[in-house]
Amino acid sequence: MLLIADNLQITNPVIATAIDKLDPAPIQEMVKNCESAGAQAIDINPGPLTRDPEKKMTFLVEAVQSVSRLPLLLDTSNPKAMEAGLMAAINHPEPPIINGFSLEPQKLEYILPLTKKYHTRIIGYLLYPNSNVPIDEADCISVLLDLYGQFQAAGLENDQLIIDPVVAPVIWEDGIRHNISILSVMRQLPDLLGFSVKTIAGISNLTTGKIPKDKKQILEQSFLPVLASSGLSLALLNVFHSQTTQTARACEALLTPGIFSWATL
């Protein structure tokens, strides 16, 4: 299970100010701290970047690459920003992962084609075209098959796809019901698609809202092993939640065949 830091995002006022002022120092400090905390990849999430999208995304990618060679995920709905980020990372050890696309028409038209153009991987969200989440298992499967159909129509290879079943906040009316459904869908993915597909989940989504940090970590720690046993490949999480990060490492150690080592924890 690859641990991806979701800490570099526009919702953090320090990061938002740094992006606005094109000040690399706070970005670089955040990335170095994430790597020290155990991050194995960095999700760059500047939001939609409605002003100067290419300039700001290029700045962000260059700032991150100046202090780290960890794999990157580019997390924006703005296709101009996405392409600028992909171009800025052209000499990175591996192409960034595009995060991501759904059945939303704009993402199918403008984001998905970048996957073929830049020979990268892309995350596909199980969301309706209006960005709502399907609640029941049958609806999740229907969205999955439609999403995969669009992915195939774009002329992409199976190993370029990563599925995000979309973890819902527990405070939603149907949040727990939806999360139970996606666990079943994750276990069925190889049979449903006919190949072994990687999966990603936004662990922080589970505890969206004003919840005390200790309670956030209890929920994250409890849900992570269930996700891991359902086949989770990549965990997108706040790496400064040290207990959650330790739980993720423990899940990886327990589910990876081979000789166990305490050093992995």
Q: What is the pTM of this model?
A: 0.95
Two structure tokens written together for 77:
């709905």
> Which helix H or strand E contains 4, and what residues bound it?
strand 2-5
| 8 Å CB contact between 67 and 39 | no
CATH 3.20.20.20 fits 2-257, yes or no: yes
Two structure tokens written together for 105:
């028409």
Q: CA-CA distance, 188 to 14, in Å (whole number)?
A: 41
For the stretch 132-141, pLDDT in tens is 999 999 999 9
Mean pLDDT taken over the chain: 95
Exposure class string for 205-237: b at 16+ Cβ within 10 A, else e: bbbbeebeeeebbeebbebbbebbebbbbbbbb
The per-residue pLDDT for 49 is 92
* Structural domain boundaries in the chain: 2-257
Two structure tokens written together for 255:
């589910």
Measured at the alpha carbon of residue 75, what is the angle toward residues 73 and 76, in degrees to the nearest 5? Answer: 150
| 8 Å CB contact between 53 and 10 | no
For the stretch 58-106, pLDDT in tens is 999 999 999 999 999 999 999 999 999 999 999 899 999 999 999 999 9
Q: Mean of the pLDDT values across residues 221-244?
A: 95
* Residue 199: alpha-carbon gap to chain centroid: 9
Model confidence at 52, in pLDDT bands (50, 70, 90)? very high
What is 56-103 written as a DSSP string?
HHHHHHHHHHTT--S-EEE--S-HHHHHHHHHHTTTSSSPPEEEEE-S
